[in-house]
Structure 1
């Protein structure tokens, strides 16, 4: 794993000293922490506003979760065999800052048909996939959520909360921005239920794009050559099942 300071924003000497403190703390409690690079530890540190004790507790909880939820180091396709073919989440191009784009289609999710345990594995599957695609010099991805055709049958608060919990607790500082497009009024009622469970840092990353400014906003964030075809760009979406993946910790 990469242990240098490249990517993810500038870090001063003071921050790296805190990363060293965090490493000493977590390695004393769990030897597996030795396998994790400094950039990963820095993400946990930043997620807890540079409080070493809180970051250590968060990271140790992550190691325990990873061992239980992903014992093989990655999610095998057979564990998400019902979720994967639905293409609820696909890979796009990259935004203007070089962050890979993850595209989600909530209207392809039906609460009546989902198994929550498998859905959680699917969430880990697509987060591992997008994180494995992040190039050197970057640490984050752009999430593009298209709510076109979303309705009552697609609303699934338990699944949404599960995805938010996994993202916040086990993939900290990976989400760069989430563009929410074609959002129906109905979803805003669901959002009010989800909002209290989203931490302040993550809340600030969600941008609800007005339909009138959709074209302008998308092209400000993404070059036309990298914009998905279904939004008027030139990049075809790639199904997750077609992405070559490597085991990824966070």
Structure 2
């Protein structure tokens, strides 16, 4: 399986606490030479409607409504991701919507996932980072292979929850993987592949950066394998210390409790 991710584009820093309360040129249906990746409103609207009609005619069995084949905001997002190429957007969107339907994304809820949430494997932080991004935290020491269905569902549930917290003007989330206490029993290449695969195919450009915190030496072989699959997109990943997380991504008031330990390792691992 070949994984593809996109490079990170960070917005201007801001702190927003969250409380759950050349000319445009057409050729083969694609817009070329759009340096900003955007079109004017009229042309964007025309392409959204074109994709919408294509999905209706070619994939009429797909669901409609929010995150369905007629969700214009979702259509626009995938058009931007595919550089406004209608053919590519239709292909990618049809697969994403079908995946959501088969995976049962819309059926995931706090209640249905309550047992998995109690494990503490992952959580969504109550506050944004200093760049205004929702924060998804994974505790790798609590993950064990063999519970694939539960882990994948929990992963997608938390991604959906983090995305629901996006403030106006923000488009990406921050992922933090706490590797303190990580051991060979926690190694799971299949899940790591699933995680990045889901972001590329079904949540394109939603993952702004991934912090690997205090990675032990034994994590290196697993990372080298993952890195070979991710190739240039491995640049999304930054290995750092707990201190870096506290000082560069949060304020004293918003830092996650998991990273408030003053006795945590201070050195940044090398990769």
Q: Does 1:96 align with 2:127?
A: no
Structure 2 unaligned segments of length 5 or more: list them: 1-9, 12-35, 262-271
1:108 matched to 2:139: no
| Corresponding residue number in structure 1 for 2:120 | 87
CA gap of 1:217–1:163, structure 2 versus 1, over 3 A, is: closer
- Partner SS, residue 107 of structure 2: coil
* CA RMSD across the alignment: 2.8
Contact 1:19 1:41 in 2 (8 A): no
Counterpart of 1:75?
108
SS at match of 1:94: coil
Tell me the equivalent position of 1:43. 77
Deviation at 1:13, TM superposition (A): 2.9
Pick the structure with more helix per residue: 1
Structure 1: which 5+ residue stretches go unaligned? Answer: 1-7, 234-250
Q: What is the aligned partner in structure 2 of residue 206 from structure 1?
A: 237
Give 1:21 shift: 1.7
SS at match of 1:13: coil
The one of 142, 165, 175 aligned to 2:207: 175
Matched, 1:55 2:86: no
- C-alpha contact (below 8 Å) 2:133/2:166 kept by paired residues: yes
- Which has the higher mean CA deviation after the structures are superposed, 24-33 or 97-106? 24-33
Asked whether 1:215 is paired with 2:250, we answer: no
Q: Distance in 1 between matches of 2:183 and 2:45?
A: 45
Question: Bigger radius of gyration, 1 or 2?
Answer: 2
In structure 2, distance between residues paired with 1:88 and 1:95: 20
SS of corresponding position for 1:204: helix
SS state of the match for residue 198, structure 1?
A: helix
- Report the number of matched residues: 218
| Counterparts of 1:133 and 1:140, CA distance in 2 | 10
- Decide which of 198, 201, 210 is 1:166's aligned counterpart: 198
Q: Distance in 1 between matches of 2:42 and 2:252?
A: 38
User: TM-score with structure 2 length normalisation?
Assistant: 0.69
Aligned partner of 1:143 in structure 2 is 175
1:83-109 deviation line (CA, Å, top 9, x unaligned): 221111112221112111111111111
1:94-125 residue CA offsets vs partner (Å, 9 max, x unmatched): 111211111111111112xx322222212211
